[in-house]
Every structure is written in structure tokens, then in C-alpha cells.
Amino acid sequence: MKIIRTKDYKDMSRKAANIISAQVILKPDSVLGLATGSTPIGTYSQLAEWNQKGDCDFSHVSTYNLDEYRGLTHSDPQSYHYFMRVNFFDKINIDLANTHVPDGANPDAQAACSHYDQIVREAGYPDLQLLGIGRNGHIGFNEPDDHFSKGTHCVDLTESTIEANSRLFEKKEDVPRQAYTMGVQTIMYARMVLILASGPEKAQAVYDMCYGPIAPSCPASILQLHQNCIVMADEAALSKCPAAE
């Protein structure tokens, strides 16, 4: 793992956007694995700004998002389909036909998940996988468990995740209890992983990811085994980690 310490959220977002932009410049038809949550929003808006200036062309890029709430339609403002349109896809010159998010509107979990695995596999897996990290160390919606997951699957969200994500809903009862998420094995197949973390509430998860045992109780800890993983985190998120990083 390469840990890059940034001053704050803005610095993290800009540096992350630089890495993604470099990937797209080097390989215009890159396959990008994308994430939702508050953390990547600054990265997306920086990339959109560069795209509008003509500096970062997404016209040949294809994207595969990590996860989606089960039971929400694509136009539901709480869905990750909607999130990606509003925060990124509608601001850049990507062909929407090349963007993919698990189909949370399909009640048939088995069909939705195996279809997603198939299209990610056919795309050759991401060149670069962007990730955030949950307060409990989850990646995508791979929650702490007694084993690491493999392909896309349906998960029951933990109370801690429902609590954390309820800030984005009117009330906690509105947070869906299940989601479809890419598995840990699929994430590990990405040729580069860029995981972002900002703020003190992520400090313990970042410490466990980078220095704890590699264990499914902290799903992000598996990234210690990835050959090309960059942890891009601000001072607050790295506050529990050794100062040398």
C-alpha cells in the first residue's frame, strides 16, 4: 500500500482527480470502477471541471459502480444511479450507455448480481477502482463478516452503516436495509485501487485497513494484499496512523 497524506479534503480530492485523470490520459478507453458516498464528490467535481476545460476526455471511458441499494428505482434521488448522474455523469462527456451500476430495481437478487458479475468480467475488470471506506471498514457495501465475499451479492446492511447513511435520508427508517455490491474478490481484480478517506470519523477504519490484521472483520484490510493500492487520506483520517506516513 502506498499511503499519501493530504492536508485536507480539498487537497485529497484534487490529488485523487489527478491520478484518475492521468489514468484516462494514458488509456482513453479505461475501465473505471466508481464509488458513491460523500468522499468522492470533490474528486468528481474536479474531474468534471477539467473535462469541461477539455483536459480530460471521458468519451471512450466505461464505468462500473460498486453498489446500489436494493429496491430503489434508478430515478429515486436516494439511488446511486441518481447520485452518479447528478454528481458526475451529467457533467462530463461520457456516453451514458457505457456507465453501469448494479440494478437495485431488479428484485431478483441472484439475476441482478450474476448479470453484473458477467458484464464486469466481460469488460476485463477495472483499470482503476476508486473506493471510499465505511466507518466500520466496509468497501462498497462489503460489511464486516466472518469471511471475505467474492462476486456481486446481496447484503444486509449493518446498523452502523444504516446509521451513518441515514444522514442522507429524511429519516433513518427510509434507509434501505439491503444492497447489491461488488464482492471483495472483484475489487481485488482491479489493476489499481485508489481508496479515499477524509475526516476523523474514518481514522480507526483507516488504521485497521493499513495496520490491522488482514481479516474480514475489516473488509478494507484485504487491500494490504493488493499490488497497486493507493490510500489517499487527509490528516484527520490518518490521525491514528504513524506520523511518518
Rule CB under 6 A: which residues touch ligand GLP? 35-39, 66-67, 132-134, 140-141, 161, 165
The span from the CA of 176 to the CA of 158, in Å, is: 11
Strand pairing report for 153-156 and 67-69: unpaired
Cα-flanking dihedrals φ and ψ of residue 230, to 5°? -110, 125
Measured from the CB atom, the residue of 60 and 135 that comes closer to ligand GLP is 135
User: Per this entry, what is the length of the chain?
Assistant: 245
| Minimum distance, C-beta of residue 82 to ligand GLP, in the bound complex (Å) | 14
Give the dihedral of Cα atoms 110, 150, 79, 196; nearest 10 deg.
180
| Minimum distance, C-beta of residue 115 to ligand GLP, in the bound complex (Å) | 20
| Minimum distance, C-beta of residue 71 to ligand GLP, in the bound complex (Å) | 15
Measured from the CB atom, the residue of 1 and 60 that comes closer to ligand GLP is 1
Name the active-site residue from 138, 153, 165, 226: 138
Measured from the CB atom, the residue of 152 and 165 that comes closer to ligand GLP is 165
Name the active-site residue from 143, 165, 208, 234: 143
The span from the CA of 194 to the CA of 132, in Å, is: 9
Residue ranges with strand state E in 37-91: 62-65, 67-69
Judge whether 192 and 129 are in contact, CB under 8 Å: yes
Name the active-site residue from 51, 65, 87, 136: 136
| Minimum distance, C-beta of residue 25 to ligand GLP, in the bound complex (Å) | 25
138 is catalytic: yes
Measured from the CB atom, the residue of 57 and 76 that comes closer to ligand GLP is 76
Judge whether 143 and 161 are in contact, CB under 8 Å: yes
143 is catalytic: yes
The span from the CA of 197 to the CA of 129, in Å, is: 14
User: Which residue numbers are catalytic?
Assistant: 67, 136, 138, 143
